[in-house]
Structure 1
């Protein structure tokens, strides 16, 4: 099954990726990226790759070498989308047709496709226990295919990335980006908040898409009486009357996450996995386009 499902792409193709942002020059439905061409400071050549814009082929280089080269400039695109995907073991939680990891893959691939279609560059970080995998933000369908391949190989296993690895995320990178963090917000010692604080300090705009299973929301596990933590292995028995207590505690927990992210000026959206992915994306993108 392809991550780029046609029914999802058809559903979101006419929606702007975002409307309000702190990134300079970002405008709803009129992204001013794709900034390569004549009249700009020349930087380097690179080998042509399928999916590259043919307008930037250097025909003089072709005449001299009989090979195709793309002429790149120093000018950066106005918009760069960076997808950060939680690949820890808690993302192996399953509800209905999807695990959280599968749901996250579809979300990320669809947003990457939309950014690519709008002419924006898109990159990827997969966050895992042993470190962070990085795919540079680029334009073109070859980059999109590579991103989807990496998503298919990603997790879920282990714990969330240790803060010691966070320093590697933007070492050498200064360009402001639109960051979409796809996660279940399962953390032991506020390690995710530390990550978000780092990204905030770099003045990126951040969106957190929190994925939860419907069975997590209702504590409905169809006859199971013992639950196991996918990351620590700890177990807990479900006792009579637990659902009511659990729901109250969960509501407070989700509200604390929402409040914490709001205090950091981070957009937060809770996605429940019983909602079809195309509907969840369409609803999220529509509300972003309206500024809420």
Structure 2
């Protein structure tokens, strides 16, 4: 099977078991990356070999990946464990559906499940924090297999609801921070009163590595709607009638301006920003995660 067979979100939607989906994504991704491995100059092959399906993922060498952009199994064990915190926007706007039938939350769920599996097999502690209106659902970071099962179960049960929380709801995210830590925040950045920007400012000030995975659907990015339509705000219920032909150019121009401003603002805060369309294969996000995880080793 091709690498795309494992990481196309539309194909993944047919896998109903989240642990199986996570293992399929990670092992297929790593296997696909090594199909074209070539020996490089100066590599110590007495200590490293190419990753093969079925290998113990705890033996992946992150530093060798950073140098070569390839996956190798290390012979000697090195203590490279870190804490990975996944923060998920659980507000109602994450229920927005793309042309392929997947919601933003579906895409985020696939991505988090896969990254948590990869991190746990490496010995990292993973934690899950779901932000919804007036509440924070969370699992404290741990690294054992039973915790990963609970992690997947919690992730499967999430239903998008309400607005993104404001004020003190996210305060627990700033507690118990560890020295070697990576935070991955998955959201569509939809907010009402700068509540998300306020949280990002606080998280960015913690001096830990912070990745912002900005999720948008293809129909939002390309404005693929036609005719005169009534759009509904999933969080407030407000509606707006729009003539799509007349508004398309204006919408796309304003969207690009907002995306550029957002990326610039995140860079200034030392937050690593990536935009993902929910019809994109998962390899882009997996690669971004791996490269930034290495900064904590």
Aligned equivalent of 2:177: 174
Q: What SS class does the counterpart of residue 98 from structure 1 fall into? A: coil
- Structure (1 or 2) with the larger CA radius of gyration: 1
Alpha-carbon shift at residue 165 of structure 1 (Å): 1.5
Output one character per residue of 1:111-139: Cα deviation in whole Å (capped at 9) or x when no partner: 10010011111111000102111211101
Q: Does the CA contact (< 8 Å) of 1:123 and 1:136 recur in 2?
A: yes
Aligned equivalent of 1:193: 197
For 1:11, which of 18, 28, 32 is the aligned residue? 28
Unpaired runs of 5+ in structure 1?
A: 16-26, 32-75
Output one character per residue of 1:36-83: Cα deviation in whole Å (capped at 9) or x when no partner: xxxxxxxxxxxxxxxxxxxxxxxxxxxxxxxxxxxxxxxx98510000
Q: Does the CA contact (< 8 Å) of 2:212 and 2:271 recur in 1?
A: yes
Aligned equivalent of 1:71: none
For 1:152, which of 151, 156, 160 is the aligned residue? 156
Q: What SS class does the counterpart of residue 260 from structure 2 fall into? A: helix
Q: Does the CA contact (< 8 Å) of 2:62 and 2:294 recur in 1?
A: no
Aligned equivalent of 2:212: 208
Alpha-carbon shift at residue 187 of structure 1 (Å): 1.0
For 1:276, which of 281, 286, 290 is the aligned residue? 281
Number of residues of Structure 1 aligned to a counterpart in Structure 2 = 234
Map of 1:258-277 to 2, 5 A cutoff?
258-277=263-282
Q: Does the CA contact (< 8 Å) of 2:115 and 2:286 recur in 1?
A: no
For 1:85, which of 83, 88, 111 is the aligned residue? 88
Rounded Cα–Cα distance in structure 1 between residues aligned with 2:82 and 2:289 = 16
After superposition, the Cα gap between the structure-2 partners of 1:165 and 1:285, relative to the gap in structure 1 and judged at 3 Å, is closer
Q: Does the CA contact (< 8 Å) of 2:81 and 2:123 recur in 1?
A: no
Alpha-carbon shift at residue 154 of structure 1 (Å): 1.4
Rounded Cα–Cα distance in structure 1 between residues aligned with 2:114 and 2:127 = 13
Output one character per residue of 1:125-180: Cα deviation in whole Å (capped at 9) or x when no partner: 00010211121110121111111111111120100012221223233x13132000
Aligned equivalent of 2:221: 217
Q: Does the CA contact (< 8 Å) of 1:77 and 1:121 recur in 2?
A: no
Residue 253 (1) aligns with residue 292 (2): no
Q: Does the CA contact (< 8 Å) of 1:11 and 1:282 recur in 2?
A: no
Alpha-carbon shift at residue 221 of structure 1 (Å): 2.9
Rounded Cα–Cα distance in structure 2 between residues aligned with 1:284 and 1:225 = 37
Q: What SS class does the counterpart of residue 174 from structure 2 fall into? A: coil
Map of 1:35-54 to 2, 5 A cutoff?
none
Alpha-carbon shift at residue 30 of structure 1 (Å): 5.0
Residue 133 (1) aligns with residue 137 (2): yes
Alpha-carbon shift at residue 290 of structure 1 (Å): 9.4
Q: Does the CA contact (< 8 Å) of 1:13 and 1:114 recur in 2?
A: no
Alpha-carbon shift at residue 202 of structure 1 (Å): 2.2
RMSD: 2.5
Unpaired runs of 5+ in structure 2?
A: 1-15, 34-59, 65-78
Q: What SS class does the counterpart of residue 284 from structure 2 fall into? A: helix
Q: What SS class does the counterpart of residue 241 from structure 1 fall into? A: helix
Q: Does the CA contact (< 8 Å) of 2:166 and 2:196 recur in 1?
A: no
TM-score in terms of structure 1 length: 0.73
